Amino acid sequence: MVEIGRKKPNVSELSRISDRVSFLYLEHVKINRRDNAILVTDEQATVLVPAAIISVLLLGPGVDVTHRAMELIGDLGASVVWVGERGVRQYAHGRALSHSTVLLQEQARLVSNSKMRVSVARKMYQLRFPNEDVSKLTMQELRGKEGARVRKIYANSSKTTGVAWDKRQYNPDDFTSGTPINQALTAANVALYGLSYSVVAALGLSPGLGFVHTGNDLSFIYDFADLYKGEYSIPIAFNVVKNLQPDDDIGRITRLAMRDAFVDGKLMVRMVKDLKYLFNTKEIERIESDVLNLWDDKEGLQKFGVAYDLRTED
């Protein structure tokens, strides 16, 4: 029985992020609340999940969640993201995982300074070239190097699968107008964007503040997802087309293939690790804080909750 008058937990009672389940994905279940636990029920079983160990709750298709359950999740500072199967699409999200804006502020600081922005962009490219030093390359040189890398991945995937490859060409407004391989690549990339968005949103970062891409509300999502396309989107798309049957729904089959690649959660863990690296954050839990300050352009951060007297003494 739900305890309606349950006291909201104090900050000191919440578990550290490092002690929590990183991501909990649920689909085709009913989610309710029992005391300070999440009650998860489907046709086969009922499971109680201590809410304090949840950091990010991914709600997939067929989820029915009660208001009381959402209240508990919100009180405990967990992030909620409504997604497609296994996170392949991102539809909406609630609060960020951290109460602090430190990561967001760091992202804004780095993207607002040309030298710092280039430095982060180089780190993104360094992740793709782990055996080479790209710290001295210009953005133009980095783009050229990345273009050559991606073309090689396309060529190798084509050779391995026997799927013909010409070039990446698609109409975002007409999915079916593309060739089968271009359709599969589009579907795979959308799935990867969804997972990337879920992680970025959960950590409180801005999807729009990109370092390589710019001018779009998803610029950073494109930046971030590009780190993993060579390992996930491209080879999976080519394998889907290789095994495609005449009546197959290529979009659905590709999404399912991406879902299966995400199922063990290792990519999510890797994404969090890579974000720590990009923003020089050693411990994600260190950025979590309930401290709210007032900003002053001359005196720095000021305490919140103080009745400041706006009058000045003569």
In DSSP notation, 22-57 reads S-EEE-S-EEEEETTEEEEE-SS-EEEEEGGGBSEE
Instruction: Show me where the domains of the chain are located.
Output: 11-83, 102-283
The CA-CA-CA angle for residues 255, 257, 260, to 5°, reads 110
User: Span 259-273, mean pLDDT?
Assistant: 83
User: Span 234-260, mean pLDDT?
Assistant: 93
Query: Whose CA is closest to 83, among 239, 231, 196?
Result: 196
Percent of the chain with pLDDT over 70: 78
As annotated, the binding site includes 146, 213, 226
- What is the pLDDT, as a whole number, of residue 311? 45
As annotated, the binding site for Mn(2+) includes 146, 213, 226
Q: Is the pLDDT of residue 294 over 70?
A: no
Q: Do 87 and 195 contact (CB within 8 A), yes or no?
A: yes
- What is the pLDDT, as a whole number, of residue 38? 85
DSSP tag of 241: H
Residue 247, φ and ψ in degrees, nearest 5: -100, 10
- Measured between its terminal Cα atoms, the distance across the chain in Å is 63
pLDDT tens for 198-234 read 888 878 899 999 999 999 989 999 999 999 999 999 9
- What is the pLDDT, as a whole number, of residue 299? 59
Q: Which CATH class is domain 102-283?
A: mainly alpha
* Banded model confidence at residue 268, pLDDT cuts 50, 70, 90: confident
pLDDT tens for 64-112 read 999 888 888 777 767 788 888 766 677 776 666 556 677 888 899 999 9
Q: What is the mean pLDDT of the chain?
A: 80
- What is the pLDDT, as a whole number, of residue 189? 94
pLDDT tens for 153-200 read 999 999 999 999 999 988 888 888 889 999 999 999 999 998 898 888
Equal CATH topology for 11-83 and 102-283: no
pTM of the model: 0.67
Q: Is the pLDDT of residue 307 over 80?
A: no
One of 1.20.210.10, 2.40.30.30, 3.40.50.300, 3.100.10.20 is the CATH number of 11-83, namely 3.100.10.20
- What is the pLDDT, as a whole number, of residue 124? 95
